[in-house]
Amino acid sequence: MIRPRIVVTGGAGYIGAHVCHLLKARGFSVTVLDDLSTGVRKRVKQFEFVKLDLTMAPAEIIEQVLTGAVGVIHFAAVKRVDESVRDPLKYYSSNLVSLIRLLAAMRVCNVNAFVFSSSSSVYGEPRGPLVAEDSACFPVNPYGETKLVGEWLCQDASIAWGLRAVALRYFNVAGASCPMLGDLYSMTLVPRLVNLALANEPLIVNGTDYPTSDGTCARDYVHPEDVADAHLLTLERLLDGHDLEPAYNVGTGAGSSVLAVIQAAESVLGRPILTSYGPRRPGDPTAVVGDTSLIYEQLGWQPRYTLADIVSSAFAAHSYLRRIDNP
């Protein structure tokens, strides 16, 4: 039996690798396309792999990879908020040029099912306690701007030639479904906290004057296995011909402050974590928490993992990856 083939761009990355493994478990054939600028090859060593930079590869090479595929899940992007503020040209060039060239190749190859990795950063500074898909989008950093423009490109392609595209706006992804897939080197809060805590070095808490319960900014933390499940549900509905919304939130609907995440980590370690305090980072909104009722109502998706699960799995992944890197 020939299994339907899915191309996953950025599939050697942290979230992309989780999705690749779940695709395989659900009976799909997977081709991973990644330039390995941040991805890790051994995360996806059992999959067909093509090393390729979408911004520079000849169009015919991209088309060769897509030929015979039934769908694409697109993760390939640069994604550091602080870096995007310092170097917006890099973010616009990398994130949008790669998407434009990928969509053009999909059109040539008649591949019409497309799941786009978007972000809650499209919302910017929310106007209320929860952000729904119809909330106003005013990103406050170039990274979020590129994700919003990417969504517009997908919608325009849907109108122009019938691309069946859905953007998943996920919130702060952290933890790991298995240690090998852990996010060891990311500069986001949870992996940074884990690295510093185990090295007994202080975590700098950026901003203590936010209008939140403890003065630190709050985020909606979601486990990568839950995020991967949302991608699979979306892809399967697209392949089955269902009409879906252009975008869905993927989160837990609950916000956790920086200090709450630190407390969860202290519970895992059984000891206090060193901290110091600094000014706010440019481009950081106060709180971003998702209303996920739409994806639950239409796709039946809901998160299974708690903040405690997320933090404990992040520590387990860190310990494992450090051990195999330094035997």
- Return the active site residues: 143
Cα 151 to Cα 74, 87, 115, 259, 282: the distances in Å are: 12, 21, 10, 33, 24
> Could you tell me the two tokens for 45?
């060593």
Cα distance between residue 133 and residue 143, in whole Å:
18
Question: In this structure, are residues 11 and 19 in contact, taking their beta carbons and an 8 Å threshold?
Answer: yes
Question: In this structure, are residues 75 and 15 in contact, taking their beta carbons and an 8 Å threshold?
Answer: yes
Q: In which order are the strands placed within the sheet that holds 218-219? A: 256-257, 218-219, 287-288
Q: Which residues pair with residue 203 across a beta bridge?
A: 275
> Pairing state of beta strands 218-219 and 256-257?
antiparallel
Cα distance between residue 208 and residue 235, in whole Å:
40
Cα distance between residue 169 and residue 227, in whole Å:
10
Q: What are phi and psi of 28, to 5 degrees?
A: -90, 155
Q: Which residues pair with residue 166 across a beta bridge?
A: 115
> Could you tell me the two tokens for 294?
């739409």
Residue 105 three-state SS: helix
* Listed residue (26, 8, 147, 157) closest to 73, CA to CA: 8
CA angle centred on 195, ends 173 and 192, rounded to 5°? 40
Write the Ramachandran bin of 87: left for phi over 0, alpha for psi from -120 to 50, otherwise beta. beta
* Amino acid of residue 225: E
First and final CA of the chain: distance in angstroms?
A: 41
